[in-house]
Amino acid sequence: MSNPALTAHRRRAEAQTVPGGALAFQRVFTRLGCTGRPPQFVVQYYPYANLSHTILLREEVARVRISDVLRRAPLPVLEAAAAVLLGRLYRRRVPREMLHCYRQFTAASATQRRIERIRPGRTCRRTRHARGAAHDLEPLFATLNARYFGGALHRPRLAWSDRPWRRQLGCFDPGLDLIVLNARLDRPETPRYVVESILFHEMLHVKHPLRAARCGLEIHSAEFRREEKRFVHYGQARKYLERLR
């Protein structure tokens, strides 16, 4: 198992200055009408596990980390990312055309493929075996696959979360090819159909990957929602989960 401290140290060492990054941030600072004197921008590419960007303002220095997924992005995309960060920091509205530029880049299939390539080597989810204390995900997946997908759906790795999550019930991580369900559901009192409903939802994410839409990335398309309602205990499971929350 990797040492988190060593991993963080290695990532800091891998961070590289973004050519023209400071000037880009200064231009966007002015364009957004941010108040006060602009800070000194120190802008670096950073090997995040996904398309994350951060900014930390201390006195007169703003340290910015831009995901290295943007390393070959056009300058307008970098400026759009700067606008998003500065807009949050200074509570300024980001111009619509800049948001559109950024969303187009993030939704592009080439960008998504790059994220999927780099993600497995940069992250790991702390999980438990698919065979939980009360529910075994592997036979549940096989049953759902046969019933709703004709047995043709690719099976990712299956796991329970290492600890209960407060809000999220399940997730599918395409970069890790992994479905994880909330360990909070792995209890004898949780009906099987409830676990199946969450697993079925994540299986639909396997079938329906993220795709570009007018407002960014479309997570739950109309087709996705129609198929989700095919689950035989859909209404019953929703009522149970509403009480659980």
Question: What residues does each domain of the chain span?
Answer: 4-117, 127-244
Cα–Cα distance measured from residue 9 to residue 7, given in angstroms and rounded to the nearest whole number: 5
- In 10 A of CB 53, how many CB atoms? 17
| Residue 127 binned pLDDT confidence (cut-offs 50, 70, 90) | confident
Query: What one-letter code names the amino acid at 116?
Result: E
User: Dihedral sign, CA of 115, 213, 90, 42?
Assistant: positive
Cβ atoms of 62 and 40 within 8 Å: the answer is yes
| pLDDT at residue 2 tops 50 | no
**How do 178-181 and 157-161 pair as beta strands?**
parallel
Could you read off the pLDDT of 5-33 as tens digits, one per residue?
434 444 444 568 999 999 999 999 999 99
Q: What integer pLDDT is reported at residue 198 of this predicted model? A: 96
- In 10 A of CB 226, how many CB atoms? 9
| pLDDT at residue 3 tops 50 | no
Q: What integer pLDDT is reported at residue 116 of this predicted model? A: 82
Question: Percent of the chain having pLDDT more than 90?
Answer: 66
Cα–Cα distance measured from residue 180 to residue 129, given in angstroms and rounded to the nearest whole number: 10
Could you read off the pLDDT of 157-203 as tens digits, one per residue?
999 998 998 888 999 887 678 899 999 999 999 999 999 999 999 99
SS3 label, residue 235: helix
Closest among 92, 99, 81, 61 to 21, alpha carbons compared: 81
For the chain, the C-alpha Rg in angstroms (whole number) is 21
CATH superfamily of 127-244: Metalloproteases ("zincins"), catalytic domain (3.30.2010.10)
DSSP 91: T
| pLDDT at residue 58 tops 80 | yes
| Residue 214 binned pLDDT confidence (cut-offs 50, 70, 90) | very low
Mean of the pLDDT values across residues 89-114? 92
Q: What integer pLDDT is reported at residue 218 of this predicted model? A: 55
From start to end of 74-117, where are the E strands? none
Cβ atoms of 49 and 68 within 8 Å: the answer is no
Cα–Cα distance measured from residue 146 to residue 224, given in angstroms and rounded to the nearest whole number: 18
Q: What integer pLDDT is reported at residue 136 of this predicted model? A: 96
Q: Model-level pTM?
A: 0.57
